[in-house]
A and B are shown apart, each in its own frame.
Chain A
């Protein structure tokens, strides 16, 4: 959830929106929030500080940060060119993390929610910003013990970033259905494929970014918001996609953390191929009215996954999310091939067609084993690869 900017209280953050940094078009950055579990009872365990300390001792190959509660960590790649690069970087991080975790006898797992953790047992990670967030949001911040994947896409200019942001918004349900891995919350099957996003919706500044296609327009909105005192920095917006001016990227934030690295990298590759197609072919122009069906489609994806209904914002035509994903993959195939992402996309298509999402995997495991602890143990094995 919150950016892990440890030690910097929002009050110190500059309130100005600032310059939009330049970045190479279609470069990627992947962030994954991971669950730290006890290997005895498989509940979340507050060991982030221990894990980070051991990683520092071992010499860290990349970026690992604490998160708001002490039983999560976030790993981030550097700038990636595409699928292979992202996968390699993630693997290095994963291997270092798993080695450190083995020394501490803790488990690491993907998944958008921990299936049976109790929110009131969570502890806020000891850093000033997290304590501040905890004060502002109260129990929401603990209930926000959810785990997401964020993907940054490089944009050469802020206006292009905003254009891409709004062009990509209609595809948000695809990303939710593909990454969905949070059917269980607090020990019960919610019926949702991604129940994690329900926790995100509880935040006052979640949802979609305002429809602004130029950086100037966006800056005006931002100034008005900071003037009201409701927000103090970009970090206070928990939008599904938000611009990240410091990196010169847009950041897609709706995904659950998948159960495997390979899927995380594949989803990043799908986003990259989509962006490439949108920017280079400009198949549609974004419009405010696209958002009329936005929350409907998003809900369908969270609740029903691939089986959800997708309403085309331009034509109003109804299909299933599955069909729309497969059709879109077909359309963007030349871009995927150019970016070296065709195999990753084929694998995701297999999920959509027959194999099902991680949420279905979790449900199947539970049906076989009738023990959520055992399901989490199997999740840790999948994460370790």
Chain B
């Protein structure tokens, strides 16, 4: 017997850990750092998740995640749909009718953000398409961060409610804006005019319709199953996954569909439906992974690649939201203090913006090349400070528990 056969049962040296090993290590680190952020610094856990993702993304570790491919993308979409659905169930359309200052605030802050971003980028010499694309993407507030921080701190009150409804609305604007933009890009590439116009209509109708069906199915589950049960959660997550698969088949919007389902569920039936947060523990884990995944999507290099323009974008965007919301806060029934806090709480950007940027990349490689660095950098900055901004605002308004 020679030596090589003698030790054949031993693993190869040096060991070659695969993706599973690194993912496992990432999950362990996510859990530990998230708790550390929460206990030692009173930071939202998701900031810890995001940081772990950022570190793993920056140093490779076999996680070629810059494009959020494969299994991580799947986790990403499902987790985001859970949060968007949750957000949708908090959009009470009756409130928008009862307090017209609220839709006015929503339109004002979104318009101001769009205008401010376009203006800034035009000043730096960007072309129209680039400026508008970045404007549309940065118009939205991250539903993921908002919903997660709100539930982590068990926030309840006026600021919380308004934060959620304004976030839902600017997410809708942003997604619709992006679809219009894609149609426009299609047109300027010599595409068909009707096709350009039909794209947003098709997406909105298709996503809306699928949202209605999903809402009906979820309501059926809530009436016949105990939502406290793992079984019901499995069913709900399965339905969301199925819906996401159909979205892919029909080329609808993975963002609008769950949001629409939530809104339909909230407004079509008066009977309150109270879900366990993020649809129970399983959903909670998905959400944690979402923030890890968005962390891997940016690297430390990218964080700073946008340079001064990215920082200027963050500042201008924040200023526009803060200005519009505090100007309309008093007539809408908030105090000045709450209005300022709400303006600041609208800071976060995350998953939705990433998703839109990827969509944009898929449509126009030129555009992606020109905006890519700046947008990624701005998104990464806003993802990092976003949860802190929301936490600060909720604590300052006295709406957190425990």
| A interface residues with partner B (beta carbon < 8 Å) | 38-43, 45-47, 50, 53-54, 57, 100, 102-105, 121, 123, 126, 369, 371, 373-374, 377
User: Is B127 among interface residues, defined by CB-CB distance under 8 A?
Assistant: no
Is there contact, CB below 8 Å, between A103 and B157? no
Is there contact, CB below 8 Å, between A42 and B272? yes
Number of interface residues of B (CB under 8 A): 23
Contact string, B54-95, partner A, CB cutoff 8 A, digits 1/0?
000000000000000000000000000000000001101011
**Can you list 15 A-B contacts (CB < 8 A)?**
A43-B156, A45-B156, A46-B398, A47-B157, A47-B158, A100-B333, A102-B98, A103-B332, A104-B158, A105-B98, A126-B398, A374-B271, A377-B270, A377-B271, A377-B272
Apart from A45-B156, A369-B271, 11 more pairs, CB < 8 Å: A40-B266, A41-B274, A43-B156, A50-B158, A102-B98, A104-B333, A105-B161, A126-B398, A371-B271, A373-B272, A377-B271
Given the known inter-chain contacts A40-B90, A42-B272, A371-B272, please indicate yes or no for A121 contacting B401, CB distance below 8 A: yes
Q: Which residues of B contact A377 (CB under 8 A)?
A: 270-272
Q: Which residues of B contact A121 (CB under 8 A)?
A: 401
Is there contact, CB below 8 Å, between A57 and B333? yes
Q: Which residues of B contact A47 (CB under 8 A)?
A: 157-158
Question: Tally of A-B residue pairs with Cβ under 8 A?
Answer: 60
Q: Which residues of B contact A39 (CB under 8 A)?
A: 92
- Docked pose: A42 CA to B335 CA in angstroms: 24
A200 to chain B, nearest CB (A): 26
Kindly identify which residue among B89, B270, B271, B333 contacts A50, using a CB–CB cutoff of 8 Å: B333
Is there contact, CB below 8 Å, between A374 and B272? yes
- Docked pose: A373 CA to B156 CA in angstroms: 16
- Docked pose: A39 CA to B335 CA in angstroms: 21
Kindly identify which residue among B92, B99, B399, B401 contacts A103, using a CB–CB cutoff of 8 Å: B99
Is there contact, CB below 8 Å, between A46 and B272? no
- Docked pose: A315 CA to B270 CA in angstroms: 53
- Docked pose: A123 CA to B271 CA in angstroms: 27
Q: Which residue of B lies closest to A41 (CB)?
A: B274
Q: Which residue of B lies closest to A373 (CB)?
A: B272
Given the known inter-chain contacts A47-B158, A53-B335, A104-B333, please indicate yes or no for A41 contacting B272, CB distance below 8 A: yes
B361 to chain A, nearest CB (A): 37
Q: Which residue of B lies closest to A99 (CB)?
A: B98
- Docked pose: A126 CA to B397 CA in angstroms: 12
B187 to chain A, nearest CB (A): 41
Q: Which residue of B lies closest to A377 (CB)?
A: B272
- Docked pose: A43 CA to B154 CA in angstroms: 13
- Docked pose: A374 CA to B269 CA in angstroms: 11
B262 to chain A, nearest CB (A): 11
Q: Which residues of A contact B89 (CB under 8 A)?
A: 40
B220 to chain A, nearest CB (A): 16
Contact string, B98-126, partner A, CB cutoff 8 A, digits 1/0?
11000000000000000000000000000
Q: Which residues of B contact A57 (CB under 8 A)?
A: 333
Q: Which residues of B contact A104 (CB under 8 A)?
A: 99, 158, 333
Is there contact, CB below 8 Å, between A45 and B92? no
- Docked pose: A259 CA to B335 CA in angstroms: 31
A291 to chain B, nearest CB (A): 43
Q: Which residues of A contact B334 (CB under 8 A)?
A: 50
- Docked pose: A373 CA to B272 CA in angstroms: 6
Chain B contacts with A in 331-368, Cβ cutoff 8 A: 332-335
Is there contact, CB below 8 Å, between A105 and B99? yes
Is there contact, CB below 8 Å, between A54 and B98? no
A142 to chain B, nearest CB (A): 13
Q: Which residues of A contact B271 (CB under 8 A)?
A: 369, 371, 374, 377
Chain B contacts with A in 319-335, Cβ cutoff 8 A: 332-335
Q: Which residues of A contact B161 (CB under 8 A)?
A: 38, 40, 105
Q: Which residue of A lies closest to B96 (CB)?
A: A105
Q: Which residues of A contact B156 (CB under 8 A)?
A: 38, 43, 45-46
Q: Which residues of A contact B270 (CB under 8 A)?
A: 377
B265 to chain A, nearest CB (A): 12
Contact string, B2-42, partner A, CB cutoff 8 A, digits 1/0?
00000000000000000000000000000000000000000
Q: Which residues of A contact B333 (CB under 8 A)?
A: 50, 53-54, 57, 100, 103-104
Q: Which residues of A contact B94 (CB under 8 A)?
A: 105
- Docked pose: A9 CA to B271 CA in angstroms: 43
Is there contact, CB below 8 Å, between B272 and A40? yes
Interface hub of A40, A54, A57 (most chain B Cβ within 10 A)? A40
Q: Which residue of A lies closest to B270 (CB)?
A: A377
- Docked pose: A45 CA to B158 CA in angstroms: 9
Q: Which residues of A contact B398 (CB under 8 A)?
A: 46, 123, 126
Contact string, B243-270, partner A, CB cutoff 8 A, digits 1/0?
0000000000000000000000010001
- Docked pose: A53 CA to B338 CA in angstroms: 12
- Docked pose: A235 CA to B272 CA in angstroms: 39
B339 to chain A, nearest CB (A): 12
Q: Which residues of B contact A123 (CB under 8 A)?
A: 398
Q: Which residues of B contact A369 (CB under 8 A)?
A: 271
Is there contact, CB below 8 Å, between B157 and A105? no
Q: Which residues of A contact B266 (CB under 8 A)?
A: 40
- Docked pose: A215 CA to B266 CA in angstroms: 58
A122 to chain B, nearest CB (A): 10
Q: Which residue of A lies closest to B154 (CB)?
A: A121
Q: Which residues of B contact A40 (CB under 8 A)?
A: 89-90, 92, 161, 266, 272, 274
- Docked pose: A57 CA to B98 CA in angstroms: 16
Given the known inter-chain contacts A47-B157, A103-B99, A103-B333, please indicate yes or no for A373 contacting B274, CB distance below 8 A: yes
Is there contact, CB below 8 Å, between B272 and A45? no
Q: Which residues of B contact A54 (CB under 8 A)?
A: 333
